[in-house]
């Protein structure tokens, strides 16, 4: 802790910690900028040398000579989510055909990323997404709608009415992945830019960290449902032959997961501790039933391939439910995070009143 001191007639000053100034190489005359983070918090940082560039532009240059497979694509994803607007990939001897293919595939699956220039020695990529343009809650709603569409496709296949929807699950997963990367990009930019944080509705640093876990859990659930779809494609025509109750019992698991998803995101959106607690209780109550059902269904199946597929389906459903449990825990924790408690003078409100 450091106390404010008076310098001169009316100026106030605070000394900087010596360890920080040494680590950051701060000297007399070093330019420092201040950012108002709101709620009484002020952030200071060194003025970067590239500040002479157009306002807001962030550039990254990647020297790609002799990079191992897949590293270039992963660095590109990292450049996207950390907020770089322009990425220049170069190699003195020229990029290989496999590197160009790797770049093309990566750019094709990221929202707002495009190749704007290409030569024998390099590629220039521009990110055109304005992070402040899309409120995080709106993107989350879209992700939840797509997850529910995936669940519905699985239910239709189990009912025997329609299995064509299973073929659409990978495309839905890819779109969820795009939205996931966009949300992570928004959150990381928001951690350094209070204007963006305010525009997307997550001004608190603690909230930003919680959101990052939530969006990752939803993205993982999308992956799990796609894996389930692949399993169902291989066995859905055989399920009615096992027993009359078999598809019905499995369908109940999907219906319960859909109900857990709706209840969980309703609690998270409205920051309702009581709803989150109820959703978490319900998930934990059903998990033992899922385990027991998986074992029971597998025993009823004589064909070993179908039995293994059923066990994988139930296992993925269990993992998805557990991830929703984590989201509910984040909602409950948010009620006692410093930013929330500060608004109520230290009084934790556990009533059913919804918060904005």
Residues 273 and 212 in one domain: yes
Can you give the pLDDT at residue 50? 44
In a domain, 183, yes or no: yes
* Last residue of one domain, picked from the residues 127, 153, 171: 127
User: DSSP per residue over 219-279, as a string?
Assistant: HHHHHHHHHHHHHHHHHTTTHHHH-SHHHHHHHHHHHHHHHHHHHHHHHHHTT-HHHHHHH
In a domain, 144, yes or no: yes
Lowest-confidence pick of 10-19, 22-31, 56-65, 333-342: 22-31
Residues 123 and 170 in one domain: no
Residues 104 and 152 in one domain: no
DSSP lists the bridge partners of residue 149 as none
Q: Inform me whether the pLDDT recorded for 354 exceeds 90.
A: no
Nearest-angstrom CA–CA distance, 133 and 153: 31
Looking at per-residue pLDDT, the higher value among 290 and 328 belongs to 328
In a domain, 309, yes or no: yes
Residues 96 and 63 in one domain: yes
In a domain, 350, yes or no: no
Residues 148 and 259 in one domain: yes
Can you give the pLDDT at residue 262? 98
pLDDT tens, position by position, 63-105: 988 888 899 999 999 999 999 999 999 988 888 889 899 999 9
Of the chain, the end-to-end C-alpha distance in Å amounts to 33
Can you give the pLDDT at residue 356? 42
CA 131, 132, 133, 138 dihedral sign is: positive
CA angle 143, 145, 146 (to 5 degrees): 65
Nearest-angstrom CA–CA distance, 324 and 220: 11
Can you give the pLDDT at residue 101? 92
pLDDT band at 52 (very low <50, low <70, confident <90, very high): very low
**Roughly what angle, to the nearest 10 degrees, separates helices 169-190 and 205-235?**
170
Q: Inform me whether the pLDDT recorded for 201 exceeds 60.
A: yes
Looking at per-residue pLDDT, the higher value among 225 and 31 belongs to 225
Residues 169 and 281 in one domain: yes
Residues 215 and 321 in one domain: yes
Nearest-angstrom CA–CA distance, 146 and 177: 11
* Residue listed under structure tokens 């879209």: 142
Three-state secondary-structure class, residue 79: helix
Report the CATH number at residue 311.
1.20.58.220
CA angle 237, 240, 241 (to 5 degrees): 95
Residues 178 and 245 in one domain: yes
Lowest-confidence pick of 73-87, 140-154, 298-312, 330-344: 330-344
Three-state secondary-structure class, residue 166: helix
Residues 154 and 256 in one domain: yes
Helices (H), 59-203: 71-81, 97-108, 136-159, 169-190, 194-200
C-alpha 153 chain-centroid distance: 23
Residues 191 and 321 in one domain: yes
Lowest-confidence pick of 128-132, 133-137, 159-163, 308-312: 159-163
Residue 44, domain extent? 5-52
In a domain, 292, yes or no: yes
Report the CATH number at residue 48.
2.10.260
Contacts of 123 (CB under 8 A, 6+ apart): 88, 89, 95, 100, 103, 115, 117
Question: How many residues are present in the chain?
Answer: 356
pLDDT band at 192 (very low <50, low <70, confident <90, very high): confident
Q: Inform me whether the pLDDT recorded for 195 exceeds 70.
A: yes
In a domain, 281, yes or no: yes
pLDDT averaged over every residue in the chain: 83
In a domain, 355, yes or no: no
The first and second tokens of residue 220, run together, are 């993982």
Q: Could you count the other beta carbons within 10 Å of the beta carbon of residue 135?
A: 14
Residues 225 and 299 in one domain: yes
Residues 93 and 190 in one domain: no
The first and second tokens of residue 302, run together, are 């004589």
* Last residue of one domain, picked from the residues 73, 96, 127: 127
Percent of the chain whose pLDDT exceeds 70: 76
In a domain, 352, yes or no: no
Q: Inform me whether the pLDDT recorded for 18 exceeds 50.
A: yes
Nearest-angstrom CA–CA distance, 328 and 241: 38
Highest mean pLDDT among 126-140, 295-309, 326-340: 126-140
* Last residue of one domain, picked from the residues 93, 110, 127: 127
* Residue listed under structure tokens 């605070």: 14
The total of structural domains in the chain comes to 3
């Amino acid at each position: 802790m450091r106390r404010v001191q008076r310098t001169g007639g009316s100026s106030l000053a605070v000394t900087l910690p010596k360890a920080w100034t040494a680590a950051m190489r701060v000297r007399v005359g070093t330019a420092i900028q201040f950012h108002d983070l709101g709620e009484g918090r002020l952030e200071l940082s060194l003025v970067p040398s590239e500040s002479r560039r157009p306002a807001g532009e962030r550039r990254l240059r990647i020297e790609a000579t002799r990079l191992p497979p897949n590293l270039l694509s992963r660095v590109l994803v990292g450049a996207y989510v950390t907020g770089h607007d322009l990425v220049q990939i170069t190699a003195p001897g020229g990029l290989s055909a496999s590197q160009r293919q790797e770049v093309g595939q990566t750019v094709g699956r990221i929202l707002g990323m495009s190749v704007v220039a290409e030569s024998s020695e390099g590629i220039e990529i521009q990110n055109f997404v304005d992070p402040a343009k899309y409120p995080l809650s709106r993107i989350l709603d879209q992700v939840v709608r797509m997850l529910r569409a995936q669940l519905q496709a699985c239910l239709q296949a189990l009912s025997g009415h329609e299995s064509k929807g299973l073929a659409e699950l990978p495309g839905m997963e890819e779109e969820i992945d795009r939205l996931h990367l966009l949300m992570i990009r928004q959150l990381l930019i928001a951690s350094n830019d209070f204007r963006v944080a305010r525009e997307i509705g997550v001004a608190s640093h603690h909230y930003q960290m919680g959101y990052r876990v939530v969006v990752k859990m939803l993205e993982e659930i999308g992956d799990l449902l796609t894996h389930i779809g692949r399993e169902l494609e291989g066995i859905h025509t055989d399920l009615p032959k096992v027993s009359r109750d078999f598809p019905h019992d499995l369908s109940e698991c999907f219906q319960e997961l859909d109900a857990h998803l709706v209840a969980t995101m309703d609690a998270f959106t409205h920051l309702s501790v009581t709803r989150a607690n109820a959703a978490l209780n319900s998930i934990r109550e059903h998990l033992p039933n899922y385990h027991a059902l998986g074992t029971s269904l597998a025993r009823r199946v004589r064909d070993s391939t179908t039995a293994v597929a059923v066990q994988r389906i139930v296992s993925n459903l269990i993992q998805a439910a557990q991830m929703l449990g984590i989201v509910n825990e984040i909602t409950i924790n948010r009620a006692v995070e410093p930013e929330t408690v500060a608004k109520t003078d230290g009084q934790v409100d556990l009533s059913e009143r919804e918060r904005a």
